[in-house]
Structure 1
Amino acid sequence: MIVVIGSINLDLIASVDSLPSPGETVPGSAFVTAGGGKGANQALAAARAGAQVRMIGAVGNDGFAGDAMRLLKEADIDLSGIRQSPQPTGTALILVDARGENIITVVPGANATVAPDDLPDLRQGDVILLQHEIPLSTVEASLRAARQAKAISVLNTAPFRVEAASFLSEADYVVANETEFDRYSSALQLSGNDRGSRMIEYVRKFRSTIIVTLGGEGVLCAAPETFFECPALKIEPVDTVGAGDTFCGYLAHDLSLGASLEDAVQRANVAAALACLSRGAQPSIPYAKDLTGASLANGRWAFR
């Protein structure tokens, strides 16, 4: 079982030719709404990868709640751990430009009420998937509960929150993008002249695995017994929203099946790239069958 403890949002997405500068107004060409929130996105990605998933979180008593959970329901995710909050359902305001780049403002709403008391009973062998869009006290309590239950914990460090540096080492697997890891490197006083050496220093100090996603440059992974690079799938991105969440959901699924770390990272990397080929976070998350056309040849992923 994969247990996702995290945020549930409704994404409000506008397409623009270019992202605005401060004080600038730009015309939009399209507008859609879609379920979002890093927790919900990762839960859906794990389910589409083929996992049995339970979602823990909170939504408001408002019109956004049903839309925010629609695709989760369609994916047969266990939603019994989602509590109704007096706060409104979380929202994300997203602008996406013609190159697929984006800027996002997140209003937590009900997500800010997810508390340690909401945690379910965890079992040995469960994979617990966490992010930073709920209170960090709840994230930390979840990591400690996972360790006590001998479950596997995967922490995605998005969005960056420097105060989380104090408990990153509680996670079995930490997934950070390059900017997040570089900032945590400073907070954790990791030594090394380059990112790879700082990742190795992280593993040496904390004896856990660190995975750093590099967007179009692929992924770096450092674990107690290995260090490797996974090349990127060459694509023309339409929208990068949700790519990191897709990576985390697929990674959790493969780890739950006992896949090797390298195989799990490679497959998650391909899934994340495919998520960039259409707009929206949840609508763009690929199904397991969508990955069958991707293959690794001569050290480079290709898609047929």
Structure 2
Amino acid sequence: MPIIPSPSLTVVGAINVDLTARVERAPGPGETVADGILQRGPGGKGANQAVAAARLGAAVRMVGAVGDDLDGRGVRAQFAAIGVDASGVQTADAATGTALIVVDATGENSIVVCAGANAEIDPTALGIHRGAAVLAQLEVSDAVISAAAEAAGFLALNVAPARPLPPGVLERCDLVIANETEYAQLPEVHDAALLCVTLGADGARLYRRGELVASAAGVATTVRNTVGAGDAFCAALVCGLLRGDEPEAALARACAVGAAAVADDASQPALDLLDTYGDPA
């Protein structure tokens, strides 16, 4: 793969507003806890990955949908400020998607997603340039995933949240990214052309057709919020591979970026350019 110092990437996925309650301890079933601190900010796996990729140095185009509401206008303004091309973001009749998040003192989270406009994306109007490098997740419909896969020249798919993939999509994937739980739930991805399995604090592994080709250790950090860490990791790994980094180096940088994201309170953490995270060699 040729070296692309500043890769171009189209991200297809969900755009949300995150309502986050930070608590000392998450409530159990039927329980109320009263020490919450409420935070409001941008989120959604697609938007998180698009913003992370842009902050890491990629030229990014976002494809998704928001509502014709205050939240949707705020999301568009934020994309413009960061430098994400939002010309592929549709305006739906539904409200902008919302995620209700509880984060405890250890950084662990539980999330309820209200899809809203994310469920209304028109798969016939994605406007993906034929042959584009595409990063997608599974918070949008099968029809959208299938249309993105059909147009992509390079397809990276983060199989989160885990569900059976639409017919023909796995065969078109150049890279599949899964955490340990998703890996266990989706045995069909085990022999993917290139599969990254993330291991949380223990790092990540990269497999080609089931054979281990690279591994990277986790990076020690202070855990503040795990919500956006996986998305930052995905963006970093895809950007590294697109620009021609060797798999071991791309994986190690992605782990370093994920660690930086965990140490940030936001779902869309502040990140530096990819090379800032050092030469893993």
* TM-score over 0.5 (shorter chain): yes
Aligned position for 1:292: 276
Structure 1 residues 111 and 293, CA gap change in structure 2 (3 angstroms): closer
Structure with more of its chain in helix, by fraction:
1
Q: 2:233 aligns with which of 226, 243, 247?
A: 247
Structure 1: stretches of 5+ with no match in the other structure: 191-198, 298-304
Residues 256 and 277, structure 2, Cα contact 8 Å, conserved in 1: no
Instruction: For 1:154-165, list aligned pairs within 5 A.
Output: 154-164=156-166
Aligned position for 1:55: 62
Task: Determine helix, strand or coil for the equivalent of 1:28.
Answer: coil
Letter in 1 for 2:246: S
Residues 35 and 70, structure 1, Cα contact 8 Å, conserved in 2: no
Cα distance in structure 1, aligned partners of 2:247 and 2:85: 27
Q: 2:53 aligns with which of 28, 42, 46?
A: 46
Give the superposition deviation at 1:121.
4.0
Aligned position for 2:134: 128
Give the superposition deviation at 1:72.
1.8
The answer as to 2:185 corresponding to 1:183 is yes
Aligned position for 1:141: 147
String of CA shifts for 1:73-99, please: whole Å, max 9, x gaps. Answer: 211111111111100000000010000
Q: 1:236 aligns with which of 222, 237, 242?
A: 222
Structure 1 residues 293 and 121, CA gap change in structure 2 (3 angstroms): closer
Cα distance in structure 2, aligned partners of 1:296 and 1:107: 39
Aligned position for 1:171: 173
Structure 2: stretches of 5+ with no match in the other structure: 1-7
Displacement over 6 Å in runs of 4+: none
Structure 1 residues 293 and 122, CA gap change in structure 2 (3 angstroms): closer
Residues 35 and 69, structure 1, Cα contact 8 Å, conserved in 2: no
Normalising by structure 1, we get a TM-score of 0.84
Cα distance in structure 2, aligned partners of 1:159 and 1:64: 24
Normalising by structure 2, we get a TM-score of 0.90
RMSD of aligned residue pairs (Cα, Å): 2.0
Cα distance in structure 2, aligned partners of 1:114 and 1:85: 7
Identical residues among aligned pairs (%): 38
Give the superposition deviation at 1:41.
0.5
The answer as to 2:3 corresponding to 1:9 is no
Residues 59 and 89, structure 1, Cα contact 8 Å, conserved in 2: yes
String of CA shifts for 1:12-37, please: whole Å, max 9, x gaps. Answer: 01101111111111123311111111
Aligned position for 2:265: 279
Letter in 1 for 2:144: T
Residues 9 and 58, structure 2, Cα contact 8 Å, conserved in 1: yes
The answer as to 2:104 corresponding to 1:97 is yes
Aligned length: 273
String of CA shifts for 1:154-183, please: whole Å, max 9, x gaps. Answer: 000111113558633321100011000111
Task: Determine helix, strand or coil for the equivalent of 2:186.
Answer: helix
Cα distance in structure 2, aligned partners of 1:253 and 1:90: 26
Cα distance in structure 2, aligned partners of 1:239 and 1:258: 30
Task: Determine helix, strand or coil for the equivalent of 1:100.
Answer: coil
Cα distance in structure 1, aligned partners of 2:36 and 2:53: 32
Aligned position for 1:77: 84
String of CA shifts for 1:114-151, please: whole Å, max 9, x gaps. Answer: 13212224244x310100111012102211221xxxx1
Cα distance in structure 2, aligned partners of 1:14 and 1:70: 24
